[in-house]
Amino acid sequence: MADHVQSLAQLEILCKQLYETTETGVRLQAEKALVEFTNSPDCLSKCQLLLERGSSSYSQLLAATCLSKLVSRTSNPLPLEQRIDIRNYVLNYLATRPKLAEFVTQALIQLYSRITKLGWFDCQKDDYVFRNVIADVTRFLQDSVEHCIIGVTILSQLTNEINQADTSHPLTKHRKIASSFRDSSLFDIFTLSCNLLKQVCVWWWQSILAFWVIFLAEPYFSDPTSCASTSAAVLVFQSLSDPNNYHEFCRLLARLKSNYQLGELVKVENYPEVIRLIANFTVTSLQHWEFAPNSVHYLLSLWQRLAASVPYVKATEPHLLETYTPEVTKAYITSRLESVCIILRDGLEDPLDDAGLVQQQLDQLSTIGRCEYEKTCALLVQLFDQSAQTYQELLQSTNSSTIDITVQEGRLTWLVYIIGAVIGGRVSFASTDEQDAMDGELVCRVLQLMNLTDSRLAQAGNERLELAMLSFFEQFRKIYIGDQVQKSSKVSTFTVTTHTLLCFRPETITNLKYWGQCEPITSKTLQLLNDLSIGYPLPKLVKLSAVQFMLNNHTSEHFSFLGVNNQSNLSDMRCRTTFYTALGRLLMVDLGEDEDQFEQFMLPLTAAFEAVAQMFSTNTFNEQEAKRTLVGLVRDLRGIAFAFNAKTSFMMLFDWIYPAYMPILQRAIELWYHVPACTTPVLKLMAELVHNRSQRLQFDVSSPNGILLFRETSKMITTYGNRILTIGEVPKDQVYSVKLKGVSVCFSMLKAVLSGNYVNFGVFRLYGDDALDNALQTFIKLLLSIPHSDLLDYPKLSQSFYSLLEVLTQDHMNFIASLEPHVVMYILSSISEGLTALGNIYIHTAPHLLNIIIFEDCRNQWSMSRPLLGLILLNEKYFADLRNSIVNSQPPEKQQAMHLCFENLMEGIERNLLTKNRDRFTQNLSVFRREVNDSMKNSSYGVNSNDMMS
């Protein structure tokens, strides 16, 4: 440790300087000294002294933070005995000092949680010493109020810690710990929290509820729509509404151990009163949103599950949801509208600024609102008409205040979001023509509002309202636009006639013209354009004047986000790839072999390449301008290359870029290899160019283009690889972005070109060309620079490495055989560790995939079937046990039929992963899903997804 850190007094001074001083230089010096202290050999003992004798909360915080780093490190970990001592010391420290500063208590609880998680599988004399959670916390819960708060916080923080993966430890270990925690401790923690409900003060109920709902919502439960979880939530709300019902709550809770379905709960004699209490509690809470805003998610989650279960209820008793669900929907909608004025008046934080929170609530409301949809629609029409009329009157009046206009815009923003959500909720229910007509009523109103807001964009615009419009359009597109739309749909009859208005004039041209500098609106608009270029009949789309305008005028003059200026950030250009992917698809519709049309389209990109070439040709040039121009250009080209999946169009692009502009890309890699914001887009473009997607890279027999393309690929991999290995040690939190991401792209690039079937690799050795050897040797150098743990911790790197290794072992085994023994051992070890990791996650992945296929709206069974077959073959015994469990969960008269479903699933399937075998399994899986669903519909029991996943 440095000489200036010699005493506890000095440490406390440094802590005070770090956390309190306003002088940057002093703070940086203190931070440097404290980092040295953290890395010193006597850090552990000094931390204990700081906790015992430190006079400031900052020194206690430093000690807790340092100890957390010590117990978390993967290299040179602390011995088991020391970690046990630290855990016991922290608990005693918290117990004897219940009135520490809140941030100190939180840091110490975080330390306890981290030790517990990382030591979950550690044994001492056959005892899992870190699993005594209940015993550790019970003593806090039996003491003063301050101690009880600490105990509940420990339970909450530990649950959260167990659920959170981190980058410093393998994901497989995290999953094993989470599963074990769920199986061995979570129910006991839940029971303990239930017992607290009758003991704590009324003002404390929300803390207990928050923890309990964490238990409900955690992904330890495989099926988020679990009826058992829903039933338990019902009972919790009953107890919260009336503490006298606690004993009844416990009695009914015991029945949940049998995994009763909702239909069984309906038979409980006091169900009508229970559901009434829940509804009243929910409506009241939603109306008083300012007192418990964080509870909205849990309330909506409960009602979403209840509403989603309605089609599956088999019991004859009324479930009463048709009575109370509209009340919940109305309470949510009206409370959001009423909050707008209060938030503006009091300067409160606006929930509309939190896009993730809004989307989460809308996803939940989409299911709730479609239950008794006619009531929801009538309410929305009434509220929307009122707000829209008031808004229009305010805009036409010369005496309107800005505040009044802003309030109405806020109300309309919420209404547009909600309308989009309930239209998107159509997918969860069997829709009728009447409901489609209701959707049409809502859609027309949003279109009319869009006309009004577009007319004001030249003077003023509301970003939140524009984002709400885009959210609405995306939901509308998913349900009513595209080849998959049912032609009988009432809404589909006006889809085509309003398509220009809906999707292009306002939401592409207008948005990109007026909102080009607003990244959220630009990116969402471009994503909408991209989605439409996939899902809508393209010949109709291309004829639109708006589309033709974009194809002929894709420059910064018309679309400001394509501009390059001194303020633009290199990472802000990702949306350009999306833009040019959509334009590329649209261009291909009528392009054919028209080279003149292609050259005309490429003129702005040609000018950009020439500009970069001109900069590189001089000894001095504006490096930042060159970087921005190049990055924007390669992102544009990658979008076009991705869209051009036909041979004719791709060959035009290939002839345009090679050989004229390839040296510019190579030069960029040489100059800026250490700047991932520059090199990654260039590498990704090259990886796309060599990808033989849809057999688009088909050269004539006499053409050398395949060999020439491989040479350029080899040169780029070699140039980047040799240079990136010279950058030295990289901090752990930056190693992926600085190094491993580029390496991963290089692996993907090499795999694509080796497996593209357009290069005769024997030619290289025949003519003494070292391009192939250079690429392969660079791959080995890069591979040996990566620890095994990183190969498993970063999924994209793992995927690219194992895919490349598969190609090498199939077609280049002579190269693998010529490697040095230590290299072969490294590769074999990576395969062994990868297989071990895959085996560990089988228990999580295979049941989850089956659950999605059987119970959820699985729209792409093909993508599910490919990994599922590999998992089944990897552990056939586990699959057999899983199959037997599902079969046995059926009523006796249905077991034979379910057994036959599984037999048919594996009919004709061999023990290999060849394409023909996988295709056969995909076909079997489609039949399996249909047969199982038919069996479930005809059964009064059905298949319980919890049973399946257990």
Sign of the dihedral through C-alpha 891, 897, 901, 904: positive
pLDDT tens digit string along 610-650? 999 999 988 888 888 899 999 999 999 999 999 999 999 99
In this model, does residue 326 exceed pLDDT 60? yes
Reported as a pLDDT band with limits 50, 70 and 90, residue 314 is low
Average pLDDT, the chain: 78
Lowest mean pLDDT among 191-195, 707-711, 730-734: 191-195
What is the model's pLDDT at position 414?
A: 94
Lowest mean pLDDT among 13-17, 112-116, 396-400, 738-742: 13-17
List phi, psi (to 5°) of 212: -65, -35
What is the model's pLDDT at position 634?
A: 95
What is the model's pLDDT at position 937?
A: 56
Report the alpha-carbon distance of residue 106 to residue 84 in Å, rounded.
20
Average pLDDT over residues 348-376: 88
Q: And the tokens for 325?
A: 């669900």
Q: And the tokens for 799?
A: 């995927």
Cβ proximity of 151 and 161 under 8 Å: no
Q: And the tokens for 591?
A: 């392009």
pLDDT tens digit string along 796-827? 898 899 899 989 988 898 999 999 999 999 99
What is the model's pLDDT at position 654?
A: 93
Reported as a pLDDT band with limits 50, 70 and 90, residue 836 is low
* Cβ atoms within 10 Å, residue 403: 11
pTM for the whole structure: 0.64
What is the model's pLDDT at position 281?
A: 78
Lowest mean pLDDT among 197-201, 742-746, 923-927: 197-201
Q: Where are the alpha helices (DSSP H) in 76-203?
A: 80-96, 102-118, 133-141, 145-163, 171-181, 187-196
Percent residues over pLDDT 90 in the chain: 23
Kindly tell me the number of DSSP H helices and DSSP E strands found in the chain: 49, 2
**Range ranked top by mean pLDDT from 110-119, 243-252, 716-725, 881-890:** 716-725
Residue 186 per-residue DSSP state: I
Judged by phi (left if over 0) then psi (alpha if -120 to 50, else beta), residue 601 lies in alpha
Report the alpha-carbon distance of residue 728 to residue 918 in Å, rounded.
44
Q: And the tokens for 893?
A: 């008269």
pLDDT tens digit string along 772-787? 999 999 999 999 999 8
What is the model's pLDDT at position 263?
A: 39
Collapsing DSSP to helix, strand or coil, 2 comes out as coil
What is the model's pLDDT at position 488?
A: 44
**450 burial level (CB within 10 Å; 0-12, 13-18, 19+):** buried
Query: Closest by alpha carbon to 159, among 96, 205, 102, 215?
Result: 215
Cβ proximity of 756 and 691 under 8 Å: yes
What is the model's pLDDT at position 222?
A: 31
List phi, psi (to 5°) of 781: -60, -45
Report the alpha-carbon distance of residue 151 to residue 148 in Å, rounded.
5
Report the alpha-carbon distance of residue 205 to residue 152 in Å, rounded.
12
DSSP one-letter string for 37-78: HHTSTTHHHHHHHHHHH--SHHHHHHHHHHHHHHHH-SSSPP
Residue 119 per-residue DSSP state: T
Reported as a pLDDT band with limits 50, 70 and 90, residue 439 is confident
SS in 3 state form for 321-362? Answer: HHHHHHHHHHHHHHHHHHHHHHHHHHCCCCHHHCHHHHHHHH
What is the model's pLDDT at position 859?
A: 53
What is the model's pLDDT at position 642?
A: 94
Which position has the token pair 């393998």? 170
Lowest mean pLDDT among 426-430, 743-747, 857-861: 857-861
What is the model's pLDDT at position 724?
A: 94
Report the alpha-carbon distance of residue 180 to residue 370 in Å, rounded.
38
Judged by phi (left if over 0) then psi (alpha if -120 to 50, else beta), residue 787 lies in beta
Q: Which residue has the higher pLDDT, 748 or 145?
A: 748
Query: Closest by alpha carbon to 922, among 857, 872, 856?
Result: 872
Report the alpha-carbon distance of residue 464 to residue 310 in Å, rounded.
34
Cβ proximity of 70 and 44 under 8 Å: yes
Cβ proximity of 69 and 163 under 8 Å: no
Report the alpha-carbon distance of residue 37 to residue 40 in Å, rounded.
5
What is the model's pLDDT at position 9?
A: 73
